[in-house]
A and B are shown apart, each in its own frame.
Chain A
């Protein structure tokens, strides 16, 4: 903070409204550049490391060996299955709850937001131990299969998924939309399908992707409950073949980053103008609906 202040003072030439916050150009790009370098170097280094053969030759053998390992595909498939299950459960839980809260008990919005942060308070390692002790009695089909992972991942990804979806609902004028729809005679299923959910597409997709990415990367719970998911496989490989493990890490990182980046870029741009559009769109849809009914 001190550094910023002095910097601002030194470069503070033009007084005026928007300029109070302006920092020196060199300072701005210096900071961002340094941070950027810190984030890019490990990726480049990993790439180089994974292509490095014996005696400094370049080789793709780490990748070909990986792709021919049967376990690579089976663990990846398992993690994707768990991810999809988690996403479905998350959405089934979040959509009705968050919409209900915003419509009926908006005063409790912040309370529920804090509740959604609870999984951050209880570290996943602790939850895992609790699960093993308190769910001993559950039928084997839940405890003995990765179903338990999906069930717990819904909880552990909640801080991210809830927040994303909640802020999407916050961004649209849900009450007006619902009131408009209802006064035009739409029932709840119509409201959800044609008015509310279409307006929340970015939030839904964001929550889904965050939950999915979480599942693809989660290691602690899976390894402690002895399920060989993709990240657990990654560690096993890392103990025997370093360059394969790094290659696999790069793949895993890309798996997490690509969908996230796509979401953020596409929906980030749309969000800018969506607020106004959402209302007009909803009224249009509601109009179409009612004319259809009439």
Chain B
């Protein structure tokens, strides 16, 4: 997504440069001092600080305290043991698997859409993706239960045909099931993210390669794949974090039977707290932030690589 913005920005910059050779003309008239120019964003930043940064910091700070408020790391030690360690492993495995599947399918679908000359198909897929990417949560879980749950419509059809998937190791209420359900919002998200970079590819580099006489295989080997790899990787990280933080779908689908970090956290908030675990929830929260931050830094790094390519 951001890589496409990049293309747009640089293109606009060029146009702007041609249109207004004298930059002084487009300078804002009032106040050129630098501190002045940030004033308009203060309400926004204050709001964000109050309702996002303060809560997040308080979680991290509390994670390092025991019930009496003194410094300790015992919350973290407990958070990497037993069911909590298991929940981190489950969550990471689930998000990774779901992310990989959605990335592969999403890229193929995005390529298919971009290659299609049929305007209706294009409009249908891109608007459909925008709609489905915003699906999720509880309704999604229930509609999958109705489909391939214990008594779902498809399960019934298959059982009548002599193949009950639940007798062959399949369960919707498992990590595998969650991986499938998550595809419902991850694939459209991937398509949405990948369409702009692929379209950008079409416009600028395809012409250049073909006028230099490249074949398709050569184009993909030397231009297409190197150019698309950073946005694909970046998109994968977005999908990973999206799947990692998903709480509602997992909670509604498994009712907490699979240990996943967000669900353990939820249970701790809701008051299922044992004595001596006062700030364990905060430690799990801090752990989640840490994992997503790592993903975020990777994303930024890959994006920087990508924008270098696209400049």
Establish whether residues A3 and B139, one from each chain, have CB atoms under 8 Å apart when the complex forms: no
- B212-270 interface (Cβ within 8 A of A): 214-217, 219-221, 225, 228, 232, 238, 241-242, 244-245, 247-248, 251-252, 262, 265-266, 269-270
Report Cα–Cα, A21/B293, bound state, in Å: 36
The answer to whether A238 has its CB under 8 Å from any CB of chain B is yes
Which single member of B26, B52, B125 contacts A32 (CB below 8 Å)?
B125
The answer to whether B115 has its CB under 8 Å from any CB of chain A is yes
- B137-161 interface (Cβ within 8 A of A): 137-140, 142-148, 151-154
Report Cα–Cα, A96/B44, bound state, in Å: 9
Report Cα–Cα, A167/B83, bound state, in Å: 43
If over half of B's interface residues share one DSSP class (helix, strand or loop), that class is named, otherwise mixed; here it is: helix
Establish whether residues A46 and B138, one from each chain, have CB atoms under 8 Å apart when the complex forms: no
B100 CB contacts on chain A under 8 angstroms = none
Establish whether residues A126 and B143, one from each chain, have CB atoms under 8 Å apart when the complex forms: no
Given A264-B131, A268-B127, do A20 and B206 touch, yes or no (CB 8 Å)?
yes
A257 CB contacts on chain B under 8 angstroms = 131, 135
Which single member of B116, B127, B293 contacts A261 (CB below 8 Å)?
B127
The answer to whether B134 has its CB under 8 Å from any CB of chain A is yes
The answer to whether A85 has its CB under 8 Å from any CB of chain B is no
CB proximity of A58 to chain B, nearest CB, Å:
13
B40 CB contacts on chain A under 8 angstroms = 96-97, 100-101, 104
Given A45-B152, A123-B245, A224-B270, do A8 and B220 touch, yes or no (CB 8 Å)?
yes
> For residue A231, which residue of chain B has the nearest CB?
B138
Which stretch from A69-77, A147-155, A195-203, A280-288 is at the chain B interface? A147-155
Interface code B179-199, partner A: CB below 8 Å = 1, 0 otherwise?
000011001100000000000
Report Cα–Cα, A17/B140, bound state, in Å: 43
CB proximity of B132 to chain A, nearest CB, Å:
6
Interface size range of chain B in the complex: 35 or more
The answer to whether B112 has its CB under 8 Å from any CB of chain A is yes
Establish whether residues B44 and A126, one from each chain, have CB atoms under 8 Å apart when the complex forms: no
The answer to whether B281 has its CB under 8 Å from any CB of chain A is yes
Given A12-B216, A105-B38, do A35 and B58 touch, yes or no (CB 8 Å)?
no
- A23-82 interface (Cβ within 8 A of B): 23, 27-29, 31-32, 35, 38-39, 41-43, 45-46, 48-50
Which stretch from B71-79, B102-110, B163-171 is at the chain A interface? B102-110
Establish whether residues B56 and A127, one from each chain, have CB atoms under 8 Å apart when the complex forms: yes
Interface code B101-131, partner A: CB below 8 Å = 1, 0 otherwise?
0000101110111111000010101111011
B22 CB contacts on chain A under 8 angstroms = none
> For residue B202, which residue of chain A has the nearest CB?
A21
B152 CB contacts on chain A under 8 angstroms = 45, 49
Interface code A151-166, partner B: CB below 8 Å = 1, 0 otherwise?
1101100101001000
B16 CB contacts on chain A under 8 angstroms = 175
Interface code A110-149, partner B: CB below 8 Å = 1, 0 otherwise?
1011110011111111111111111100000000000000
Establish whether residues B37 and A105, one from each chain, have CB atoms under 8 Å apart when the complex forms: yes
A18 CB contacts on chain B under 8 angstroms = 202, 206
The answer to whether B2 has its CB under 8 Å from any CB of chain A is yes
The answer to whether B89 has its CB under 8 Å from any CB of chain A is no
A1 CB contacts on chain B under 8 angstroms = 107, 225, 228, 232
Establish whether residues B154 and A45, one from each chain, have CB atoms under 8 Å apart when the complex forms: yes
Report Cα–Cα, A213/B136, bound state, in Å: 11
Establish whether residues B184 and A42, one from each chain, have CB atoms under 8 Å apart when the complex forms: yes
A182 CB contacts on chain B under 8 angstroms = 29
CB proximity of B207 to chain A, nearest CB, Å:
6
Establish whether residues A32 and B206, one from each chain, have CB atoms under 8 Å apart when the complex forms: no
Establish whether residues B154 and A41, one from each chain, have CB atoms under 8 Å apart when the complex forms: yes
Report Cα–Cα, A7/B215, bound state, in Å: 13
CB proximity of A289 to chain B, nearest CB, Å:
19
The answer to whether B177 has its CB under 8 Å from any CB of chain A is no
> For residue A217, which residue of chain B has the nearest CB?
B137
Establish whether residues B41 and A100, one from each chain, have CB atoms under 8 Å apart when the complex forms: yes
Establish whether residues A122 and B262, one from each chain, have CB atoms under 8 Å apart when the complex forms: no
Report Cα–Cα, A111/B106, bound state, in Å: 28
Q: Which residues of B contact A (CB under 8 A)?
A: 1-2, 5, 8-9, 12, 16, 25-26, 28-29, 37-38, 40-41, 43-45, 47-48, 51-52, 54-59, 62, 105, 107-109, 111-116, 121, 123, 125-128, 130-132, 134-140, 142-148, 151-154, 183-184, 187-188, 201-202, 206-207, 209-211, 214-217, 219-221, 225, 228, 232, 238, 241-242, 244-245, 247-248, 251-252, 262, 265-266, 269-270, 281-282, 285, 288-289, 292-293, 296, 300
Can you list 15 residue pairs at the A/B interface with Cβ under 8 Å? A17-B206, A17-B211, A31-B112, A122-B56, A125-B262, A158-B48, A175-B26, A220-B247, A246-B142, A246-B146, A249-B138, A253-B140, A260-B131, A261-B131, A264-B130
Known contacts A264-B126, A268-B123; 17 further A-B pairs (Cβ under 8 A): A5-B217, A20-B214, A28-B115, A32-B112, A49-B146, A103-B28, A105-B38, A120-B292, A129-B265, A129-B281, A134-B58, A218-B137, A219-B251, A238-B252, A256-B134, A256-B135, A264-B127
Q: Which residues of A contact B (CB under 8 A)?
A: 1, 3-5, 8-9, 12, 15-23, 27-29, 31-32, 35, 38-39, 41-43, 45-46, 48-50, 93-94, 96-97, 100-101, 103-105, 109-110, 112-115, 118-135, 151-152, 154-155, 158, 160, 163, 167, 170, 175, 179, 182, 210, 213-214, 217-220, 223-224, 231, 234-235, 238, 242, 245-246, 248-250, 252-253, 256-257, 260-261, 264-265, 268
